[in-house]
């Protein structure tokens, strides 16, 4: 008998500020319902000057280490498309900040928003080879687009950390997957740019094509039917994208995508993403945490997961929550991390966007701005220096 492998623990973190999209609508002179209803987004997380993907990742991961310790963790897989270095992986900083043993394999993975799902599957492979090991998977991103571009309404930031192990306490990762890769230039970020180049409409079309093709591969490999799932988590660059994707899937299967059907299949997965905004690699897993935190008992009922990373790579897989998983959720803390963000005006957001770390090697000490357990305290000798809250 093969040992079940999956998500043993899952924890969420987001940034310090929140901008209501009414603020952006005011600046852009558009009806706020374009964002609230048309995109399905109410606000977006904006990070403080002393936050980045490492501080959010460490904030999520420390919750897991506090609960489960570090025994058996020999690998950290850090998925991001907001990399802070072209060579050194962000996983190394997290390994240090949360006190993992030196005998750890720490690496970074990249394929746009798909990186987190790939890390989860690679982690399962490591655990299948040695079920005594546990793998820390982290997806952490800050989604930023050009100022005054259409993409600005779909920004956000979050990290999700997951402990992958045998006999998981949250959800088993089911074995059948559907895959799809196509060379599409819908969204990419050349090394010389801090914001991506994006063809928004092309990316929506490429995403929908990927849903169809990944599903067909999943079906061909003996996957479950649409009616077998208790919920559907999609990568959510904006939550309305999940509606578009699910409509495409239902129509492919000859099922009418009524408003009631879409609401029943998707609503609990979109609550956190509506407020946080896009978090690239983390977005799918933010959706999963939202589903777990806002559903009746899902034990034994599989949940479809669709990951899309522009460029593009997509994967359709499923997870099955296990009996008793609800005792291990962090619902109150998750809700608080979103509700407690400091609201900011468009003008404040714009000032934060104008801030940039030195690009020329100049040293800079950063004032305390955020209140999380970790912060970026300075840039010195071309290096980012992080500190725990007690060292402030
Ligand atoms: N009330 C309600 N809905 C409204 C509205 C209003 N007053 N005004 C506009 N809308 C709707 C539009 O009909 C549209 O909905 P639809 O797509 O279901 O037809 C939606 O709001 C967005 O409007 P649109 O004009 O398409 O927005 P945009 O041109 O500013 O661009 C994106 C939207 C998503 C393309 C843009 O934000 C973007 O490029 N984002 C980054 C890339 C991305 O997220 N891609 C997704 C796949 S990875």
Task: pLDDT tens for the chain, 392 residues: list them.
Answer: 589 999 999 999 999 999 999 999 999 999 999 999 999 999 999 999 999 999 999 999 999 999 999 999 999 999 999 999 999 999 999 999 999 999 999 999 999 999 999 999 999 999 999 999 999 999 999 999 999 999 999 999 999 999 999 999 999 999 999 999 999 999 999 999 999 999 999 999 999 999 999 999 999 999 999 999 999 999 999 999 999 999 999 999 999 999 999 999 999 999 999 999 999 999 999 999 999 999 999 999 999 999 999 999 999 999 999 999 999 999 999 999 999 999 999 999 999 999 999 999 999 999 999 999 999 999 999 999 999 875 44
Nearby residues of 225 by Cβ (< 8 Å), 6 or more positions away: 253
Check: CB of residue 189 under 8 Å from CB of residue 83.
no
**DSSP bridge partners of 160:** 12, 139
For 86, phi then psi, to 5°, come to -80, -10
Whether residue 244 is annotated as binding a ligand: the answer is: yes
**CA 159 → CA 106, 279, 280, 292, 392, distances in Å?**
17, 7, 9, 17, 22
Q: How far is CA 40 from CA 15, 108, 131, 197, 375, in A?
A: 20, 31, 41, 23, 31
State how far the Cα of 235 lies from the Cα of 217, in Å rounded to an integer: 18
* Residue with CA closest to ligand 1 atom 33: 150
- Residue 205's domain comprises 5-388
Distance CA 280, CA 73 (A): 25
Kindly give the distance from the C-alpha atom of residue 116 to the centroid of ligand 1, in angstroms, as a whole number: 25
290: nearest Cα among 305, 312, 311: 305
Residue nearest to ligand 1 atom 8, measured at CA? 34
Domain count, the chain: 1
Question: Distance from the CA of 151 to the center of ligand 1, in angstroms?
Answer: 9
Amino acid 391: pLDDT: 47
CA distance 110 to 147: 24
Distance from C-alpha of 71 to C-alpha of 67, rounded to nearest angstrom: 11
Query: Are 77 and 136 contacting, i.e. CB atoms less than 8 angstroms apart?
Result: yes
Q: CA-CA distances (angstroms) from residue 302 to 1, 314, 342, 360? A: 20, 19, 36, 50
CA of 39 to the centre of ligand 1 (A): 6
- Say if residue 278 carries a ligand binding annotation: yes
Pick the atom of ligand 1 nearest to 152's CA: 37
Question: To test the ligand 1 pocket, which listed residue (39, 198, 208) has its Cβ within 8 A of the most ligand atoms?
Answer: 39
Ligand 1 atom closest to the Cα of residue 32 is 7
Query: What residues line ligand 1, using a CB cutoff of 6 Å?
Result: 31, 33-34, 37-39, 150-151, 153-154, 198, 200-201, 203-204, 207, 237-238, 241, 310
We report the CATH number of the domain holding residue 317 as: 3.40.47.10
Ligand 1 pocket test target in 26, 34, 151 with most atoms within 8 Å of CB: 34
Question: What residues have CB less than 8 Å from 338, skipping those under 6 apart?
Answer: 14, 18, 272, 275, 276
Q: What is the pTM of this model?
A: 0.98
CA distance 206 to 199: 10
Report how far residue 345's alpha carbon sits from residue 19's, in angstroms, rounded to the nearest whole number. Answer: 6
Question: What is the phi/psi pair of residue 252, to 5°?
Answer: -60, -35
The catalytic residues are: 81, 113, 235
The 3-state DSSP composition of the chain as helix, strand, coil percent (nearest 5) reads 40, 25, 35
């Amino acid at each position: 008998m093969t040992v079940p492998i999956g998500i043993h623990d899952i924890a969420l973190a987001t940034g310090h500020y929140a901008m209501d999209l009414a603020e952006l609508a005011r600046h852009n002179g558009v009806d706020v319902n374009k964002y609230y209803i048309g995109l399905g987004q109410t606000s977006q997380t904006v990070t403080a000057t002393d936050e980045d993907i490492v501080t959010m990742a460490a904030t999520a991961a420390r919750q897991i280490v506090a609960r489960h310790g570090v025994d058996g963790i020999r690998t950290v897989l850090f998925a991001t498309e907001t990399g802070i270095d072209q060579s050194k992986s962000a996983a190394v900083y997290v390994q240090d900040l949360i006190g993992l043993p030196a005998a750890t394999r720490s690496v970074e993975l990249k394929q746009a928003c798909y990186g987190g799902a790939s890390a989860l599957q690679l982690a399962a492979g490591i655990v299948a080879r040695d079920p005594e090991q546990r793998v820390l998977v982290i997806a952490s991103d800050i989604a930023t687009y050009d100022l005054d571009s259409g993409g600005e309404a779909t920004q956000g930031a979050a990290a999700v950390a997951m402990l992958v192990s045998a006999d998981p306490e949250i959800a088993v990762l089911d074995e059948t997957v559907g895959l799809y890769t196509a060379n599409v230039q819908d969204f990419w970020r050349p090394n010389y740019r801090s914001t991506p180049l994006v063809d928004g409409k092309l990316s929506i079309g490429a995403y929908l094509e990927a849903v169809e093709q990944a599903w067909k591969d999943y079906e061909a490999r003996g996957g479950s039917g649409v009616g077998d799932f208790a919920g559907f988590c999609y990568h959510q660059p904006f939550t309305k994208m999940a509606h578009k994707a699910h409509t495409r899937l239902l129509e492919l299967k000859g099922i009418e995508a009524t408003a009631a059907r879409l609401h029943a299949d998707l609503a609990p997965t979109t609550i956190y993403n509506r407020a946080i905004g896009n978090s690239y690699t983390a977005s799918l897993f933010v959706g999963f945490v939202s589903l777990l935190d806002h559903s009746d008992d899902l034990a034994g009922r599989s949940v479809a997961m669709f990951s899309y990373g522009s460029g593009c790579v997509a994967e359709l897989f499923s997870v099955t929550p296990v009996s008793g998983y609800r005792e291990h959720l962090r619902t109150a803390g998750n809700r608080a991390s979103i509700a407690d963000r400091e609201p900011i005006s468009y003008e404040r957001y714009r000032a934060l966007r104008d801030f940039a770390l030195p690009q020329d090697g100049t040293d800079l000490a950063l004032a305390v701005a955020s209140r999380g357990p970790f912060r970026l305290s300075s840039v010195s000798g071309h290096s980012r220096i992080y500190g725990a809250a007690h060292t402030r």
